[in-house]
Amino acid sequence: DAGVIQSPRHEVTEMGQEVTLRCKPISGHNSLFWYRQTMMRGLELLIYFNNNVPIDDSGMPEDRFSAKMPNASFSTLKIQPSEPRDSAVYFCASTPSQLAVVNEQYFGPGTRLTVT
């Protein structure tokens, strides 16, 4: 079974450039999450989707960040324009039906973003 797939694994870009991170959840999973991890702030939930619909985007830091889930097998997180303080590891996670009693989240390997 393929797990959660993220691309690219590493991204180095210059300040002001647009960055797009991609995620393919596990087939059949209905919920998808985007997290950001830094030394200073730890693991932060940015946004999550149920059945492709954004449910809670209160963790999105500002308007420069946007996320979409056009279908059940693909999501993007876009930063435009990027800034050095956006440097972090971005994780995508997915989980099965929200109706299940216990839902563990399955994490992807992460995208390490460096903005210079």
Residue whose pair of structure tokens reads 């694994």 in the numeric block:
9
42 sits near other proteins (criterion: CB under 8 A): yes
The correct pick among 27, 80, 98, 116 for binding other proteins (CB under 8 A) is: 98
69 sits near other proteins (criterion: CB under 8 A): no
- Please give the C-alpha separations between residue 54 and each of 16, 42, 109, in angstroms, as whole numbers: 26, 23, 22
Could you give the CA distance from residue 112 to residue 31 in angstroms, rounded to a whole number? 22
Quote the least distance from Cβ 69 to other proteins, whole Å. Answer: 14
The correct pick among 56, 61, 80, 85 for binding other proteins (CB under 8 A) is: 56
Quote the least distance from Cβ 98 to other proteins, whole Å. Answer: 5
93 sits near other proteins (criterion: CB under 8 A): yes
Could you give the CA distance from residue 4 to residue 73 in angstroms, rounded to a whole number? 10
* 1: exposed, middle or buried (Cβ count in 10 Å: 0-12, 13-18, 19+): exposed
Residues that bind other proteins (CB under 8 A): 4, 31, 33, 42-43, 45, 48, 50, 55-56, 91, 93, 95, 98, 101-110
